[in-house]
Amino acid sequence: MSPSLVPGLLMLQPRLALCLTALTALAVALSTGCSRQSEPPPAPPASPSSPKKATASQNTSSAKAAPAAAAAKPLPSPNAFAGSERCSECHEDEHTAWRQDWHSRALSEATPKFVVGNFRDTHFKGESSEAWMSQREDHFFMRTQSPEGSLAEYPVQWVVGGKRMQDPLTLLPDGRWQVLPVYFHVTGKSEWVDYSEKRQGKLTPEHPFFWANFARSAQHACLDCHTTGLDVRYDRSTHRWTTTFADAGVACESCHGPGARHAETQEPKDIVHPRHLPPELGLAVCGQCHGPRRTLFPMLDATHHFRPGQRYEDAYQPMVLLVGGELSGDYFADGRPSTSSFEYQALTQSLCYMKGGATCLSCHTAPHEAHAANEIQLPQDTPAKVSAGTATCHGCHADVFAEGKRHTHHTSPAAQDCLACHMPPVVSGVLDKFPDHAIDVPVPQNTQKHGIPNACNTCHTHAKQRPEVMVQALERWWPKARQRQQRRLRLADAFADKTAAQSRSFLEAVLADPAEAAELRGAAALFLARRFHGEATPALRAALGGAKDSLLRSQLVEALGTAKARVAAGEIAPLLNDPSLWVRQAAALTLAQLGDARAVPALEALARKPETSGLVAPHAMLGRLAMRRKDLPQAARELERALDLQPYNADLLVMLADLYVSQGNVALAKDRLEDALRFAPRNQGARQRLGALQAR
């Protein structure tokens, strides 16, 4: 959102159009498609000093209760967590096996049993960070630069991971769990590294990714996927965080759903078994963490967190390609994720998924079952000297597998592995490389034109084995591969910045292709609207008429708003009754952006109904519309409600500050600007306004 809003009502009014245009982007940052009935709010959390025990005590029945009292007690809510220890009472073998898997150690207390980093008086110095690690008895510490610029020592209370990289966490006085500046790289040289510096450049205390700032808080960036049954709260008046969870790590209920009721009834209907779910829902269980996503309901809303058994799109929208109006650095230009933990986004655009119906559980197994590395299944009929990864391909591609070297055209044992050519290790994960889950054929032409890595040149690195040589070999040995390559060639020409000016025909072709992945068609719609504005309208309207996927519909609606396609308002309005809440909200926001009167009642319904009142974007938009009507008290109420739901939204905080200045309430304006800088230290709008107010 533009930071150019300035104090005074007369200055607020001209900027409203820009705010309305930006709100769709704000909505994307908050998005899911959830239409679940709301639950009563959970009990208030306990002190963050003992989150694990606090939640377990809230959700677990007392073992000492009298039988008569237990019989009379109502059953726990379907959304109540029991904790893994309760699960172990009946599932001891599974619990023991899970304890040996890395999922159980996604988050661990910082004890000698779990800490893998070298804290024996070690020192790290990078370009922007310096740290001294030490251990005193069973306690670990890191001395580093404080936000004020001086050196300070911080206790390490928790650690994230430990299989490849381990991140130390410290609890700050306001209850934030912060990721300390340097991590221990286990699979590298067993050394301390500053990964954030490598990705972001030199970090000063004002940089969003300086270790003590909100962007590096574990509540914001880590705990949702590294705990089970997370409940995070923030008190705006005291600026304090409280954090509780049922289990540290990815525990039983992350995959099987909240189990307190099942623990009481022992009924199969009260628990989820991922393998018994339809493939789409089973995929969502893994996708909740193995695919960065946008949520419609905000981080602090534990009631609307994803639960196993839901559809992915009922809780999330995948993050794809376009971020802040630009090509995301987490994707290659042909649409494949370039960063690890995007396995969901990669797999769902693979032909294995789109045509063959493959999901995560086609190749991987549960953490508590016997498996090879990385939870890869061990098929019983695996041929000798065949890797576990290749064995999972054998089930669907036995005919190709039987061809052996006639298919691979290679003699080296490594090249006989399906993964070498179709899932090459070109995806970056912290400082390691991981397999590409888009599962496609190599396209060296895109390496030549767009710098996208290909499988051939991960092995063939000699100067005489340049991508153009690989193109010739592919055409000679696999002439049919060219047809498969055309898809990635078209996608790269559509999305790449290098070909942006000439990309319209490629984007329209991707958008119009019903066989293409919905996430890539949606991305094409957004790129088309941003690059070609009103010229994109005909193609967007044509695609909206036949869009069966809710993700695609919502992104088409957003794109029509970006293109200012008022002519499409009549086609957008029926989507106010769409089955997908994500689509309904997108339609209401876009109609408001286009100035259509049907937007207001739709937004008010979303903001007032109990099952949708926790959405942030409708309140924010109603606040902006009230500002346009010069109804400043109503605008303040709606924007404050949006901030109750998402208190870390710096753009809304700055807007409220401007509104309060126009009302003459300088004290409240200063408070909101200080809050904005608390969450976004580099927000220039907040800095400038606060400086002006302090000067006054």
pLDDT of residue 632: 96
Residue 516 in any domain: the answer is no
Mean pLDDT of the chain: 89
678 contacts: CB under 8 Å, gap ≥ 6: 214, 239
Q: Which helix (H) or strand (E) holds 532?
A: helix 518-532
pLDDT of residue 384: 67
User: Which of 216, 249, 264 corresponds to the end of one domain?
Assistant: 216
pLDDT of residue 416: 87
Q: Which helix (H) or strand (E) holds 125?
A: strand 122-125
300 within 8 A of 646, measured Cβ to Cβ: yes
User: Which of 187, 216, 245 corresponds to the end of one domain?
Assistant: 216
Tally of domains within the chain: 2
Query: How many CB atoms are closer than 10 A to CB 346?
Result: 26
Residue 674 has pLDDT above 80, yes or no: yes
User: Which of 216, 250, 266 corresponds to the end of one domain?
Assistant: 216
Residue 506 in any domain: the answer is no
* % of the chain at pLDDT higher than 90: 77
Residue 406 in any domain: the answer is no
Residues 538 and 224: their CA atoms lie apart, in Å, by 40
Residue 107 has pLDDT above 90, yes or no: yes
pLDDT of residue 597: 96
Residue 549 in any domain: the answer is no
Residue 70 has pLDDT above 60, yes or no: no
| Domain extent at residue 119 | 107-216
pLDDT of residue 66: 47
The CATH number of the domain holding residue 641 is: 1.25.40.10
Same domain, 15 and 114: no
* Out of 124-128, 273-277, 511-515, 611-615, least confident range: 124-128
- pLDDT tens-digit profile of 277-292? 999 999 999 999 999 8
- Rounded to whole angstroms, what are the CA distances from 562 to 329, 533, 555? 22, 7, 10
pLDDT of residue 201: 82
pLDDT of residue 55: 41
Environment class of 344 (CB within 10 Å of its CB; exposed 0-12, middle 13-18, buried 19+): buried
* Out of 41-50, 77-86, 653-662, least confident range: 41-50
pLDDT of residue 608: 97
- What the block records as the tokens of 129 is 């960070």
pLDDT of residue 389: 86
Residue 387 identity (one-letter amino acid)? S
pLDDT of residue 1: 39
- pLDDT tens-digit profile of 336-387? 999 999 999 999 999 999 999 999 999 999 999 999 889 999 877 766 678 8
* Out of 96-100, 218-222, 399-403, 601-605, least confident range: 399-403
- pLDDT tens-digit profile of 551-594? 999 999 999 999 999 999 999 999 999 999 999 999 999 999 99
Residue 46 has pLDDT above 60, yes or no: no
State the DSSP string of 291-334: S-EEESS-TT-GGGS--BTB-GGGTEEE--SEETTEE-TTB-TT
Q: Which helix (H) or strand (E) holds 407?
A: helix 405-408
- What the block records as the tokens of 499 is 């070909």
Nearest Cα neighbor of 513 from 549, 480, 477 is: 549
- pLDDT tens-digit profile of 617-646? 999 999 999 999 999 999 999 999 999 999
Residue 674 in any domain: the answer is yes
pLDDT bin (cut points 50, 70, 90) of residue 68 is low
364 within 8 A of 90, measured Cβ to Cβ: no
Residue 335 has pLDDT above 70, yes or no: yes
245 within 8 A of 219, measured Cβ to Cβ: no
Same domain, 122 and 210: yes
Residue 431 in any domain: the answer is no
pLDDT of residue 12: 34
Residue 585 in any domain: the answer is no
Residue 15 in any domain: the answer is yes
Residues 72 and 95: their CA atoms lie apart, in Å, by 30
Residue 42 has pLDDT above 50, yes or no: no
Q: What share of the chain is helix, strand, coil (3-state, %, to 5)?
A: 50, 15, 40
pLDDT of residue 379: 77
Residues 328 and 319: their CA atoms lie apart, in Å, by 9
Same domain, 114 and 212: yes
